[in-house]
Chains A and B, each alone.
Chain A
Amino acid sequence: MYRQWVLTALLAWPVLAGLGVLLVPARWAKHVAFAASLVEFALSVPLWWTFAPDGGVQFFLDVPWIPTWGIRYTVGLDGISLFMVLLTTFLVPLSVLGSYTYITTRERGFYALLLVLTSGMIGVFVALDLFLFYVMWEVMLIPMYFIIGVWGGERRLYAAIKFFVYTFFGSLLMLVAILALVYAVAQRTGVYSFSYAHLLAHLGGLGPIAFWLFGAFFLAFAIKVPMFPLHTWLPDAHVEAPTAGSVLLAAILLKMGTYGFLRFALPLFPAVALHPAVQQVVVALSLIGIVYGGLVAMVQPDFKKLIAYSSVAHLGFVMLGIWALTLQSVQGALMVMINHGISTGALFFLAGMLYERRHSRLIESFGGIAKVVPLLAALLTIVSLSSIGLPATNGFVGEFLVLLGTFRTYPLAAVIAATGVIIAAMYLLPALQRVIYNPLDQPTNEQLPDLSARELAVLVPLLACIVWIGVYPQPILRRMEPTARHFIQTVRLNAAAFTAAR
């Protein structure tokens, strides 16, 4: 019972709760939303134990939706999506709690959109039908668009439309590619189906069109990740979004891009993805992302923008790990995806808390606040260190695995990427110093209140994860290993088969 319906319940509950939030009085909205998101988290927690690490798809449900077109409602989880779903359900209650004092206008709408966004995010990760995936991929655009556009900072309209148009552009080309792929497979098998398993099983050699289809998928996902030349929407969206928006944008929405590569772009078009020219381009772009993202982060006066550019660098590690295609590197990439969600999420929460106190995002507005707000300063230090990748924090595990795995495939790339870790220290530590150490030279900063109990409640779970994953990542690695292995085998075998067939 639970195994069959849990994913559908996870998809439906936030939407229903979102409607409920719209109906209650405005002052209750946040409490109702918090309760609803806790229920959602409670629903998802048993996944962790009931999931059997065997590399297959579990919690599977498959019912017809639009049979005329071969569209079905197919959902399921494997070792990759499991952690994305858990990360989502874990972060949403914290985001709601973190918005209690930040959002003061139109609260009902905000929390309802946040819950609808939850459904969309989970939908992207569990969909195993390309139509369903596309619908979810697009649907979660709208809540985010409103969250940035209505509750964002000064340049929110610009940031919102930029975010929307970038993503919409990529995903519509992907739509055409999905249709062309389905039709190409239908021509061979005579079955018109959007099912992921069906497409994967009957791919065959697609011929020269595969390159264009891969290109369309690549564009959609690379914009979302974001990869180097397509990243320009990210700093604007991150900076202007309210705290909860930034957190979910960084922690979950960016992962949709890398998840898309893992789930669709590589398994469906392995021959193209492993073509030497494509490999070189992707690896080069990832390295540029790592180094360039770090260097740009170094000169940012705006704390949120600094975190945003650091995301570009972290996601570069993920892309590198995926394309290196060794067990360590893929597992490392998955770990970076999880860790980036936790650490960067926590950083955005802290940046939001600083902003609420001082109404400024600029690093120079602070200085020496460690004396005034010792608790906040301590937490900011730990989270920053985990983001840099200090051993015994979660950040170390992922990046180390990526570097280790990548070294076997691309030694030079691993060496260059390793400098990214140093660059991370070079932008985060000075920023940390300027925010919380240095002399306390601004009188306005002398009266800042320290973390409240609610704020602690937001940060402590994240901190616990940082330490836990940093010290003992084995439970996570064990659950994702069969799937990572399966992923590598599928891609390598199919690539070899298609290349030989050609």
Chain B
Amino acid sequence: MNLDLARSGDLLQALLPEVVLTAAGLAVLLVTAWRHRTATDLRIAAWVTLVGLAAAAAAAWWLWWRTARATGAPAMIALDDFRFVADWLFLGIAGLTVLVSFDYLEREQLLAPEYYVLLLFATLGMMLMVGGDDLMVVFLGLELMSVSVYALAGINRHSAAAAEAALKYFLLGAFASGFLLYGIALVYGATAATNLTQIGIQVRTLGLEHSPMLSIGLGLLLVGFGFKVAAVPFHMWAPDVYDGSPTPVAGFMATGVKAAAFAALFRVLAEAFAGVATWQAIVWWLAVATMVAGNLIALAQRTVKRMLAYSSIAHAGYLLVAVAVGTSAGSAALLFYLVAYALMTLSAFALLAAKGRDGERDVLIDDLGGLSQRRPWLAGALAICMLSLLGFPGTAGFIGKWYILVAATATGHLLLAAILVLTSVVSAGYYLPVIMAMYMKPEPSEQAHAGMRLGRLGGAVVAVSVAGLLFFGIRPNRLLDLAKTSSEGFGAAPAVTAPAPAPPTPTSTGR
């Protein structure tokens, strides 16, 4: 299906998932304006949100199934599989977050249905970010997402920590947006374009590879994105913000916001700046610094939530390796890793949320002691999440890491690959203590796990995520093919081919 984005009818079709989600957001807003007092109202809003997310996912699927492609001049919106697959990821993350929030909000007495409105608009922002083929649209999406998430971080008005987190996130986020905007301005100054494709063409035809203005603009863009993905040295906000926010929101930030920023960053770098070599060196160093610092600082954490926060910084480092590679293999690895990372991080945060004590800020790793005796299923699920985060074979986390390593070694980044695995060894030093506490240490006190409650829907989320982690760890073929076909637009394919006797996979792309 070819769509001419200069025609408004076609443009509307191209934006169908976003339009559907906007409508859903407005609908939920209407519902909450009318009913916003009791727990029942909260549940109604949540169900409407889920329906909206599902409808948007169906719209994205429709575009993907019809192989929607843009014709004509470069436009504001990109139409490619990368966008649709990333959309599914964001919608999936949002859906899982809603399911986890059901019980959590009621238990924590956060009877604010606006929570779901903000969640929907944040998701919309993510979809715009990854769908934008123009720096302006990317920026719009980023702001829509960020502003919604600032409010989400502070949704618990009774918690001083949440207020601090929201304010800190807002101030630093606004600062980062400033960097990004200034970078866009300089890039525009150098190339007279904000469209990503046109920037790429201008760089090539005008020979701007070494233009100082473009380089500075690119540097500022990287700083802005670096803030959003929490790359070292722009990571300072992340632990405090995750720590103070309600746990499901922290999970949403650690997965959704990060995934959106990474997907947008990859598109910007690969489409607009493929001809500018400088960014690869910068991202290389960012990746190394993020992996090393994230893992080392995480070692020193005693509370589970801060450990997970630093672990998410470390994972940003692994993802930056995929970005630094820059080829279509890098993009496929990025997509696959984001899926695996979202599953394991979301379920880890969901399990932490079940511990349920004032934002879970003071749950020490040792407080999980003896959990395997009291709640064997919860402990088993958390152990699998930890092993997957560690990148242990048999889990999706391993396949994701493996894919990143494949992409890195195939482009000759052997040193980067070695640093990745060495820092992964370090990460055993903070993931294993969680397992150790649950299985090998006694309960810290009698009835230490009495109040632990996951709820039926939260339990379903964890079960589905863990099943997904194990399934994709053993049989990742479909997801790999999807990630691969969605990434064919970026860079030149590496000179590798599959071995001769490949089995017929008629359903591998689903068309």
- Are the chains A and B members of one assembly? yes
Cα–Cα, bound, A222→B122 (Å): 51
Chain A 171-191 against B: per-residue CB contact (8 Å), 1 yes, 0 no? 011011001100100110011
For the complex formed, measure the closest distance between the CB of B382 and the CB atoms of chain A, giving whole angstroms: 15
Q: Which of A146, A149, A176 has a CB less than 8 Å from the CB of B409?
A: A176
Cα–Cα, bound, A139→B439 (Å): 18
Cα–Cα, bound, A146→B428 (Å): 14
Given A142-B387, A161-B436, A172-B422, does the pair A70, B405 have CB atoms closer than 8 Å?
A: no
The verdict on B216 contacting chain A, using a C-beta distance below 8 Å, is no
Chain B 387-410 against A: per-residue CB contact (8 Å), 1 yes, 0 no? 100001110001000100110011
The verdict on B54 contacting chain A, using a C-beta distance below 8 Å, is no
Asked if A149 contacts B425 (CB within 8 A), the reply is no
Q: Using CB atoms, name the residue of chain A closest to B390.
A: A168
What residues of chain B lie closer than 8 Å to A66, measured between beta carbons? 476-477, 480
What residues of chain B lie closer than 8 Å to A198, measured between beta carbons? 499
The verdict on A224 contacting chain B, using a C-beta distance below 8 Å, is no
The verdict on B496 contacting chain A, using a C-beta distance below 8 Å, is yes
Given A68-B480, A160-B436, does the pair A176, B417 have CB atoms closer than 8 Å?
A: yes
Q: Using CB atoms, name the residue of chain B closest to A136.
A: B393
Asked if A165 contacts B429 (CB within 8 A), the reply is yes
What residues of chain B lie closer than 8 Å to A150, measured between beta carbons? 439-440
Q: Which of A70, A139, A176, A190 has a CB less than 8 Å from the CB of B394?
A: A139
What residues of chain B lie closer than 8 Å to A161, measured between beta carbons? 428, 432, 436
What residues of chain B lie closer than 8 Å to A6, measured between beta carbons? none
Given A164-B432, A173-B421, does the pair A64, B501 have CB atoms closer than 8 Å?
A: yes
For the complex formed, measure the closest distance between the CB of B366 and the CB atoms of chain A, giving whole angstroms: 12
Q: Which of A67, A157, A175 has a CB less than 8 Å from the CB of B440?
A: A157
Q: Which of B405, B424, B432, B497 has a CB less than 8 Å from the CB of A191?
A: B497
Given A64-B503, A186-B496, A192-B497, does the pair A175, B405 have CB atoms closer than 8 Å?
A: yes
Q: Which of A64, A68, A134, A142 has a CB less than 8 Å from the CB of B481?
A: A68
What residues of chain A lie closer than 8 Å to B428, measured between beta carbons? 161, 164-165, 168
Cα–Cα, bound, A70→B502 (Å): 9
The verdict on A49 contacting chain B, using a C-beta distance below 8 Å, is no
B-side interface mostly: helix
Asked if B393 contacts A149 (CB within 8 A), the reply is no
The verdict on A169 contacting chain B, using a C-beta distance below 8 Å, is yes
Interface size (B, Cβ < 8 Å)? 39
Asked if A67 contacts B439 (CB within 8 A), the reply is no
For the complex formed, measure the closest distance between the CB of B392 and the CB atoms of chain A, giving whole angstroms: 6
Given A67-B502, A70-B498, A172-B425, does the pair A149, B436 have CB atoms closer than 8 Å?
A: yes
Asked if B406 contacts A176 (CB within 8 A), the reply is no
The verdict on A314 contacting chain B, using a C-beta distance below 8 Å, is no
The verdict on B30 contacting chain A, using a C-beta distance below 8 Å, is no
The verdict on B414 contacting chain A, using a C-beta distance below 8 Å, is yes
Asked if A67 contacts B498 (CB within 8 A), the reply is yes
For the complex formed, measure the closest distance between the CB of A165 and the CB atoms of chain B, giving whole angstroms: 6
What residues of chain A lie closer than 8 Å to B402, measured between beta carbons? 175
For the complex formed, measure the closest distance between the CB of B259 and the CB atoms of chain A, giving whole angstroms: 22
Determine which residue in A139, A165, A180 has the highest number of CB atoms from chain B within 10 A of its CB, and name it: A180
Determine which residue in A142, A157, A175 has the highest number of CB atoms from chain B within 10 A of its CB, and name it: A175
Asked if B480 contacts A192 (CB within 8 A), the reply is no
Chain B 467-500 against A: per-residue CB contact (8 Å), 1 yes, 0 no? 0000000001100110010000000000111111
The verdict on A193 contacting chain B, using a C-beta distance below 8 Å, is yes
Q: Which of A68, A157, A172, A187 has a CB less than 8 Å from the CB of B436?
A: A157
What residues of chain A lie closer than 8 Å to B405, measured between beta carbons? 175-176, 179
What residues of chain A lie closer than 8 Å to B495, measured between beta carbons? 186-187, 190
The verdict on B6 contacting chain A, using a C-beta distance below 8 Å, is no
Determine which residue in B393, B424, B476, B502 has the highest number of CB atoms from chain A within 10 A of its CB, and name it: B393
Q: Using CB atoms, name the residue of chain B closest to A69.
A: B406
Cα–Cα, bound, A469→B402 (Å): 43
The verdict on A54 contacting chain B, using a C-beta distance below 8 Å, is no
For the complex formed, measure the closest distance between the CB of B469 and the CB atoms of chain A, giving whole angstroms: 15
What residues of chain A lie closer than 8 Å to B497, measured between beta carbons? 190-192
Determine which residue in A67, A142, A156, A180 has the highest number of CB atoms from chain B within 10 A of its CB, and name it: A67
The verdict on A135 contacting chain B, using a C-beta distance below 8 Å, is yes
What residues of chain A lie closer than 8 Å to B481, measured between beta carbons? 68
The verdict on A450 contacting chain B, using a C-beta distance below 8 Å, is no
The verdict on A302 contacting chain B, using a C-beta distance below 8 Å, is no
What residues of chain B lie closer than 8 Å to A135, measured between beta carbons? 393-394, 398
For the complex formed, measure the closest distance between the CB of A74 and the CB atoms of chain B, giving whole angstroms: 12
Asked if B440 contacts A64 (CB within 8 A), the reply is no
What residues of chain A lie closer than 8 Å to B300, measured between beta carbons? none
Asked if A142 contacts B480 (CB within 8 A), the reply is no
The verdict on A138 contacting chain B, using a C-beta distance below 8 Å, is yes
Q: Which of B417, B422, B499 has a CB less than 8 Å from the CB of A67?
A: B499
Tell me the A183-220 residues at the B interface (CB within 8 Å).
183, 186-187, 190-193, 195, 198
Chain B 430-471 against A: per-residue CB contact (8 Å), 1 yes, 0 no? 001000100111000000000000000000000000000000
The verdict on B418 contacting chain A, using a C-beta distance below 8 Å, is yes
For the complex formed, measure the closest distance between the CB of B494 and the CB atoms of chain A, giving whole angstroms: 9
Asked if A183 contacts B409 (CB within 8 A), the reply is yes
Cα–Cα, bound, A165→B402 (Å): 19
Residue contacts A-B, CB under 8 angstroms, 25 given: A64-B502, A64-B503, A67-B477, A69-B498, A135-B394, A138-B392, A139-B394, A146-B439, A149-B436, A149-B439, A161-B428, A164-B432, A165-B425, A165-B429, A169-B425, A172-B422, A172-B425, A173-B418, A173-B422, A176-B418, A179-B417, A180-B414, A183-B409, A183-B410, A192-B499
11 new A-B contacts at CB < 8 Å, known A67-B498, A173-B421, A195-B499: A67-B499, A67-B502, A67-B505, A135-B394, A142-B387, A145-B432, A157-B436, A164-B428, A168-B425, A186-B496, A193-B499
Q: Which residues of A contact B (CB under 8 A)?
A: 64, 66-70, 72, 134-135, 138-139, 142, 145-146, 149-150, 156-157, 160-161, 164-165, 168-169, 172-173, 175-176, 179-180, 183, 186-187, 190-193, 195, 198
Q: Which 10 A-B pairs have the closest CB atoms?
A: A172-B421, A135-B393, A192-B496, A67-B502, A179-B409, A138-B393, A149-B440, A70-B499, A169-B425, A176-B417
